[in-house]
């Protein structure tokens, strides 16, 4: 195996990957009043630990800042990455490729499971602008 842990800090998934690690350490992107607050002690500790224990030790591959989700998934399916945070769709691809795997909740620093990361994508179209028919056709196509 080429890379023990696929740390996905490339442009495609850095926010998801980072948030998983921050939540596991008791941090996150916001403070108690829901204001953005990145420079907390929990966040600093989590990212320092990743840098010192994973990246510096070579456990996260050659350059985690360039590893995108799509590339990490492909490397996992080829047996080049041993472990990574992944969308459940990767399990279906692993089943089809007959790649043996196991899955578990992301661990919390102090034991147990970390809070889950939830994502929501929206596709929207403007009502105005005279393209109602085209927008409707595109949304029907999807």
pLDDT tens per residue across span 24-48: 999 999 877 778 888 899 999 999 9
Is 98 within a domain?
yes
Neighbouring-strand partners of residue 83: 5
Number of structural domains (the chain) is 1
pLDDT at 104 over 70: yes
Residue 42 lies in a domain: yes
Per-residue pLDDT tens digits for 1-13:
799 999 999 998 8
pLDDT tens digits for 56-102? 999 999 899 999 999 999 999 999 999 999 988 899 999 999 999 99
Task: Flag whether 128 is in a domain.
Answer: no
- Collapsing DSSP to helix, strand or coil, 92 comes out as helix
CATH number (domain holding residue 51): 3.40.190.10
Confidence (pLDDT) at 45 = 95
Q: Which residues neighbour 126 within 8 Å (Cβ) at sequence distance 6 or greater?
A: 135
Write down the pLDDT at residue 120: 64
Q: Classify residue 22: in a domain, yes or no.
A: yes
Token pair of 26, please? 């008791």
Give the range of the structural domain holding residue 60, as residue numbers without chain letter: 3-115
130 within domain boundaries: no
The whole-number pLDDT of residue 75 equals 96
What is residue 74's predicted lDDT score, i.e. its pLDDT? Answer: 97
Burial 15-36 (b: 16+ CB within 10 A, else e): eebbbbbbbbbbbbbeeeeeee
Residue 37 lies in a domain: yes
Residue 82 CA to residue 108 CA, distance in Å, equals 20
């Amino acid at each position: 195996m080429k890379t023990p842990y696929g740390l996905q800090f490339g442009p495609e998934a850095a926010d998801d990957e980072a948030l998983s690690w921050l939540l596991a350490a008791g941090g996150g992107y916001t403070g108690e009043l829901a204001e953005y607050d990145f420079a907390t002690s929990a966040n600093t500790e989590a990212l320092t630990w990743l840098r010192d224990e994973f990246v510096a030790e070579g456990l996260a591959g050659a350059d985690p800042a360039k590893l995108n989700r799509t590339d990490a998934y492909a490397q996992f399916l080829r047996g080049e990455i041993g472990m990574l945070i992944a969308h459940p769709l990767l399990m279906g691809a692993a089943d089809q490729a007959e790649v043996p795997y196991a899955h578990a909740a992301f661990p919390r620093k102090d034991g147990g499971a970390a809070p889950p990361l939830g994502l929501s994508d929206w596709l929207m179209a403007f009502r105005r602008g005279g393209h109602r028919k085209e927008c409707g056709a595109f949304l029907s196509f999807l």
